[in-house]
Amino acid sequence: MKYLQCPLGEARLIFMQARFKYGMTNGVTIPSQLRYLRYHEFFITHEKAAQEGISNEAVKFKFKFRLAKMTFLRPSSLITSESAIVTTKIQHYNDDRNALLTRKVVYSDIMAHECGGNMTFIFGRDYLTLENDCRIEFTLGTSKSKAASSIISWTSCASCWLNIYLETLMHIIKDDSSPDYFQVERLKRDEMLGTTISWQELDGFGELSTHGLKLFQALKLEGEII
């Protein structure tokens, strides 16, 4: 985008056709990489003063977002019938950014079933506050045996990286064009913030785009600024 001076769609096509080679990406997963390209595109559309403000507020935002609710929209019958269990790991880097910390593990068999068919987990008093950049991973397993879970886990595995602060801004700006919309104190006025990521937008096995069995239509995350 920057060097060829082309829009995101064209840059994505060039990257996929000319730059991306399977086995040569050192663990970089494409959907999340494209998500961060969208963050970059969003950032550079602002004036320099606003860019500096966003950068400064991003530092203040760390551990200010409390994840309150996680929802599987239109989950697979495999999960709703509890024939299999989805393990969800919520992670972010440690202070040295050389290892991932697992902050929370949620099993689908303890999630509540809503009348619309969705499945939810309320974090309640866990007060799960997160770094700006976090990783969420989903693996399929069973409660019957570890050996069976190990085999089943290869039939479906998906994950994603996202920046909670920038995800929040990209949703807020659709309805709020005020010059201070990106300030943490301003974001506190909103009772509940959220983002939705479809199954197709998740990363697949390693460097591949395939996820295996589809576990849900989309993931919805909701939280608040504390």
Query: What domains are there in the chain, each with its CATH number?
Result: 47-225 (2.60.40.1110)
Half-sphere exposure of 132 (CA within 13 A, CB side): 19
When pLDDT is cut at 50, 70 and 90, the band that residue 3 belongs to is low
Each residue of 190-212: pLDDT tens digit?
768 889 999 999 988 765 567 77
- In this predicted model, which residue has the larger pLDDT, 145 or 35? 35
- In this predicted model, which residue has the larger pLDDT, 138 or 15? 138
- pTM for the full model? 0.80
How far is Cα 207 from Cα 28, in angstroms, rounded to an integer?
6
How far is Cα 199 from Cα 217, in angstroms, rounded to an integer?
6
Each residue of 157-167: pLDDT tens digit?
899 999 999 99
Burial class (CB in 10 A: 0-12, 13-18, 19+), 209: middle
User: Hey, which residues does 113 pair with through a beta bridge?
Assistant: 119
Confidence at residue 23, expressed as pLDDT on a 0 to 100 scale: 45
